[in-house]
């Protein structure tokens, strides 16, 4: 089983104005998919801007274990020689996906309809997360899964020898489940249909089309009906990965709460299935503008400019927006603490099964810093204390969750007294340059003793 090594305690203290240009790394979701689809194409896929965070590096290693050649040829520049749909070899070792739910669930889907067996594991966070949401639909193809109680990793997947195509209504709003079924459908004959009631991130669909698969999405009364024709020959691609809106959220939100800040975050992917946070911030009264809007590699992209916003108000975040900002609720709750009035977040049950129970982790840490938070099974509220109004001084547990660690470090940039985080190590899974990028803007983050 993998581990993150020794905990890295960190302290964040009041910084004053954050200023400058924040070049955040490549999109994590798109990076995983570029490696996996590259491995399933015939020939060489070239990728630039790949996120070199631990989650994605674990997926690169997994693709090698299934027989693809995966090489780095420069910073963020990678080459994948794929083996073709149905061409995966049986790995001769356990596949360790580290902290990554996206990695393990997408790879399980990608191998589920090949006549091979693979065993998956991860760190303590990943091994506690539910996998039945993926193995249930994979069973419809003829795939078998044997894991620990409650459908947890470590888990062995026995690929279907004669897969049949599937029609599946995704019961929870999850791009990982949708993508696992679509990737499994690649090696099934005929048409695999996935129906989602709520739109989730559509990078898999966009990228499959780019690789030459026949895939059609229709918007109906049932939701989005996605039909994939199986057994295509995927053509290798050149992929430029846009910068990650979920990572951009940290410098953007930190700028909104730190007095005098003015930060430009260029080249951020603003796919509508990912951009809910920015819409929400603008509704709260954030001084956030999109500049230079354009399209790159099939994804909408803009430069984001965020300035200190002393007049933000709490709002009720529309529940139907949840899927488009699901990873951003932790940092939104930090911004909400500096707004006037209450921010209400409903329809967010999925936050309880991420890298940590994110409602619980944020509620405890915010309370430790003097903020009032109420929560229930699928909702939570944060009572704002106004600009500069949060006392701070708390000690926060990150629960092996990168976004929890980064959210509390951003909190400390604007609280009256410093905020301590027990372990910033997991930040390397998605945003390895977070510390240097934020200190470059003027943040005061230090590695500290507990
Ligand atoms: C992701 C989907 C989301 C998100 C995760 C990345 C993806 O998870 O939270 O960080 O790349 O498909 P769910 O599918 O569980 O909602």
Separation CA 336–CA 334 (nearest Å): 5
CA 125 to chain centre: 15
Residue 310 Cα to ligand 1 middle (Å): 32
* Per-residue confidence (pLDDT) for residue 223, from 0 to 100: 95
Residues linked to residue 79 through DSSP beta bridges, in sequence order: 46, 71
Residue 162 Cα to ligand 1 middle (Å): 29
Q: Is 99 in the pocket of ligand 1 (CB under 6 A)?
A: no
Residue 62 Cα to ligand 1 middle (Å): 19
Phi, psi of 445 (to 5 degrees): -110, 130
Separation CA 135–CA 219 (nearest Å): 26
E strand or H helix at 439: helix 434-441
* Per-residue confidence (pLDDT) for residue 2, from 0 to 100: 42
- Tally helices (H) and strands (E) across the chain: 12, 24
User: Closest Cα partner for 192 from 174, 160, 157, 166?
Assistant: 166
* Per-residue confidence (pLDDT) for residue 296, from 0 to 100: 82
Question: Residue 386: which region, alpha, beta or left (left: phi > 0; alpha: psi -120 to 50)?
Answer: left
Q: Report the share of the chain in percent with pLDDT over 90.
A: 96
Q: 379-404 pLDDT, tens per residue?
A: 999 999 999 999 999 999 999 999 99
Residue 122, burial from CB neighbour count under 10 angstroms (0-12, 13-18, 19+): buried
Q: Is 29 in the pocket of ligand 1 (CB under 6 A)?
A: yes
* Per-residue confidence (pLDDT) for residue 4, from 0 to 100: 63
Cis (ω within 30 of 0) for the bond into 154? yes
* Per-residue confidence (pLDDT) for residue 3, from 0 to 100: 47
Q: Which atom of ligand 1 is nearest to the CA of 327?
A: 9
**Domains in the chain: ranges and CATH:** 10-26+242-447 (3.65.10.10), 28-229 (3.65.10.10)
Q: 150-189 pLDDT, tens per residue?
A: 999 999 999 999 999 999 999 999 999 999 999 999 999 9
CA 36 to chain centre: 16
Measured by CA distance, the residue closest to atom 10 of ligand 1 is 327
Residue 295 Cα to ligand 1 middle (Å): 23
Q: Is 247 in the pocket of ligand 1 (CB under 6 A)?
A: no
* Per-residue confidence (pLDDT) for residue 102, from 0 to 100: 98
Residue 99, burial from CB neighbour count under 10 angstroms (0-12, 13-18, 19+): buried
Q: Is 327 in the pocket of ligand 1 (CB under 6 A)?
A: yes
Three-state SS for 256-280 is HHCCCCEEEEEEEECCCCCCHHHHH
Q: 96-135 pLDDT, tens per residue?
A: 999 999 999 999 999 999 999 999 999 999 999 999 999 9
pTM of the model: 0.97
Q: Is 176 in the pocket of ligand 1 (CB under 6 A)?
A: yes
Q: How far apart are the first and last CA of the chain?
A: 26
Is the Cβ–Cβ distance between 304 and 289 less than 8 Å? yes
CA distances from 231 to 165, 167, 215, 226, 442 (A): 11, 16, 12, 16, 52
Q: Residue ranges of the chain with pLDDT lower than 50?
A: 1-3
User: Closest Cα partner for 86 from 66, 58, 62?
Assistant: 66
Q: How many CB atoms lie within 10 A of CB 106?
A: 29
Which positions are catalytic?
327
* Per-residue confidence (pLDDT) for residue 450, from 0 to 100: 52
Separation CA 363–CA 367 (nearest Å): 6
Is the Cβ–Cβ distance between 424 and 435 less than 8 Å? yes
305: three-class secondary structure by DSSP: strand
The DSSP annotation for 150-198 comes to TTEEEEEEE--SS----EEEESS--HHHHHHHHHHHTTSSSEEEEEESS
């Amino acid at each position: 089983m993998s581990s993150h090594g020794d905990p890295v305690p960190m302290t964040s203290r009041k910084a004053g104005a954050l200023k400058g240009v924040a070049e955040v790394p490549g999109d994590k979701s798109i990076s995983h998919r570029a490696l996996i689809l590259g491995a399933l194409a015939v020939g060489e896929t070239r990728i630039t801007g790949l996120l070199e965070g631990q989650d994605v590096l674990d997926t690169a290693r997994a693709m090698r274990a299934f027989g693809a050649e995966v090489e780095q040829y420069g910073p963020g520049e990678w080459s994948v020689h794929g083996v073709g749909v149905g061409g995966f070899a049986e790995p001769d070792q356990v596949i360790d996906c580290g902290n990554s739910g996206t990695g393990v669930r997408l790879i399980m889907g990608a191998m589920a309809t090949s006549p091979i067996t693979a065993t998956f594991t991860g760190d303590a966070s990943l091994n506690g997360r539910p996998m039945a949401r993926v193995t249930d639909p994979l069973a419809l193809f003829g795939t078998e899964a044997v894991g620990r109680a409650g459908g947890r990793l470590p888990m062995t997947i026995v690929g279907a020898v004669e897969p049949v195509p599937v029609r599946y209504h995704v019961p929870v709003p999850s791009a990982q489940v949708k993508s696992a079924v679509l990737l499994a459908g690649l090696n099934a004959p005929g048409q695999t249909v996935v129906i989602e009631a709520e739109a989730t991130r559509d990078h898999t669909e966009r990228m499959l089309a780019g690789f030459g698969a026949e895939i059609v999405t229709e918007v109906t009364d049932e939701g989005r009906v996605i039909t994939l024709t199986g057994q295509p020959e995927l053509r290798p691609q050149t992929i430029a990965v846009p910068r990650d809106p979920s990572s951009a959220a940290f410098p953007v939100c930190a700028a909104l709460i730190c007095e005098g800040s003015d930060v430009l975050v260029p080249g951020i992917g603003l796919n509508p299935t990912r951009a809910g946070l920015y819409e929400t911030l603008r509704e709260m009264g954030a001084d956030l503008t999109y500049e230079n809007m354009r399209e790159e590699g099939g994804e909408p992209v803009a430069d984001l400019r965020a300035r200190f916003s002393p007049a933000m108000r709490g709002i009720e975040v529309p529940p139907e927006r949840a899927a488009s900002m699901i990873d951003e609720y932790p940092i939104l709750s930090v911004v909400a603490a500096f707004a006037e009035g209450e921010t209400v977040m409903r329809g967010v049950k999925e936050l309880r099964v991420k890298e940590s129970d994110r409602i619980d982790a944020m509620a405890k840490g915010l309370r430790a810093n003097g903020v009032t938070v109420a929560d229930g099974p699928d909702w939570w509220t944060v009572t704002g204390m106004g600009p500069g109004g949060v006392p701070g001084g708390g000690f926060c547990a990150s629960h092996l969750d990168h976004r929890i660690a980064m959210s509390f470090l951003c909190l400390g940039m604007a609280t009256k007294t410093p905020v301590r985080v027990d372990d910033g190590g997991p930040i390397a899974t998605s945003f390895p340059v977070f510390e240097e990028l934020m200190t470059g803007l003027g943040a005061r983050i230090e590695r500290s003793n507990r």
